[in-house]
Amino acid sequence: MRYLTNVIGLGLIVVAVSACGAQNPAVEPGSGQGSGNLSTVPPSSSPAPAPGSQSGVPNAPRQEVPEGSTRVPDKQLDASALPADYPREVHTSNGGTILNIRGQEGGCGHATAEAAQQDGTRVTINLTELKGQTGQMCTMDIRFPVISVTLAAPLGERTVVLKQMR
């Protein structure tokens, strides 16, 4: 009887291990340049990403600045509160009423931005990275999406102050 219990237990382990090995991996080892590099391959059932977005999600941040945008001059940008390696790229569109800001996010995080303060001389933008769920497996990449913020009035000559919120 003890032998039969061991055989059944071993059979269950073999079935469980086989099921784990049969999954369709999202990463193909060795497909990058050099040894040990990994390259992400989307599953075959995934929809194609929307133009300009980083995933198939319709409201996902864009990777590129919208066409027709105008870069905010450096003299009109105060990014002194940002870490040294954070992007410092801001564009306006829609007559100056929309700021398109290059953010930074990684892994399961998602970059967001909000206009915290708007007055006659400056617009303060708070940049935040919302973290994913704890216990979730996340990639070790850094992305630089473009995040749009709508202003109450056109930017004009006002200074854009960028702050990173933690």
pLDDT, tens digit (0-9, with 9 covering 90-100), for 94-150 = 999 999 999 999 888 999 999 999 999 999 999 999 887 777 888 888 999 999 999
DSSP reduced 3-state for 33: coil
Same domain for 157 and 132: yes
Cβ neighbours of 154 (radius 10 Å):
13
For residue 53, being part of any structural domain is answered with no
Residue 139: the pLDDT is 85
Higher pLDDT among residues 28 and 158, named by residue: 158
Total number of domains in the chain: 2
Domain that holds residue 33: 1-46
Same domain for 69 and 33: no
CA angle 136, 141, 142 (to 5 degrees): 115
Q: How far is CA 116 from CA 43, 124, 127, 156, 159, in A?
A: 39, 6, 10, 18, 14
pLDDT, tens digit (0-9, with 9 covering 90-100), for 68-98: 999 999 999 999 999 999 999 999 999 999 9
Residue 12: the pLDDT is 62
